[in-house]
Structure 1
């Protein structure tokens, strides 16, 4: 009996045919899971918002009428006290006929009145700068008479004590202590203030000055001592005598 031998190429072709047939047989290949479709998402529905009731239109009312101001009394302007010379009048540096003459006042020119004395002298502002002269030493003085006219509010002009002529005074620009002795460790008799003035009696070689508190406007008796750095002279003070405590 002859044995039939299949050649190798025929064997390969046979195997390929079997493989093709196996792929086409239903049920032999795995089922592929098909993707499932998700249900469509419903679009959100808008909820109706509550509507605000319309605002009523604003009502306009006319403003109340402004009150009418009626003056209850007349307002008058108070003029300062002014001095005017009706003729040529001599003015002095202190309220005394024995004082140094300042000038002859021009006729018709007004000056501000700032002080008066009990014995009838009128102190006015001479209208020029005086660096160290304050208070009664800043004024220039005329006697009250028919040769001068006062106009304005002259009732409240202050009455002052006028410095006598021929006396050296000191008039402090700041508060200055007066000591019992020429030593800052001694007791303070009084403190002079601006516009106060006292008589200067003499000086010491170490720049202390003796003052007479009874001559001036501080209304105090006795003598005291002032440091030289605070002295502010007015009057004949060039030839003060040398004194000792």
Structure 2
């Protein structure tokens, strides 16, 4: 999906998809100081909500999710609300996990058109856990690829990670695309047998001015090539 839910959600919710037995429900709520994705700022202070259902099958784990991006700067926000509806399949092997999904992206209250985004993500089960993601928007013809990797380790009751990422986006309308890079530090710990707490801080840099938006009267007045974001999230699954 457009935001791939966020790295924090991937760290807490989707591994459960691949490992689940039978049917289960999962949900997550998070706050972020800024929502940066694929080298672009999608929102300033943001509430993110995710709910989903997963089911084990003979072919892998199928899932369906609803994901909501809610900017918190009120009616004057220059950023659009977003609600995404996704279906996907996770195929798990001892050497890799493959996630294929179709995501219907909608922007309630905005003049932006809805679109269908197709995503393929491959995780390799080796040191640093390389993650390769490719996407294509069937309506806008936007496309891109991102590669990320990094170590994780246990610290007291926390599972922590550092990940570096590098990506490129081609825009279907013919305007200049962008390359981007970044890194993230995150940590999570169990709150109970079925819920987790996660925190993260991330830095991103883009080849174009697409980050760290300054706004006035509901309009973006200035953008930079670097951006920092931090957030907290609570996830649960049953």
Provide TM-score, normalisation by structure 2.
Answer: 0.20
Larger radius of gyration: 1
Provide TM-score, normalisation by structure 1.
Answer: 0.19
Kindly indicate which of the two structures has a greater share of residues assigned to strand: 2
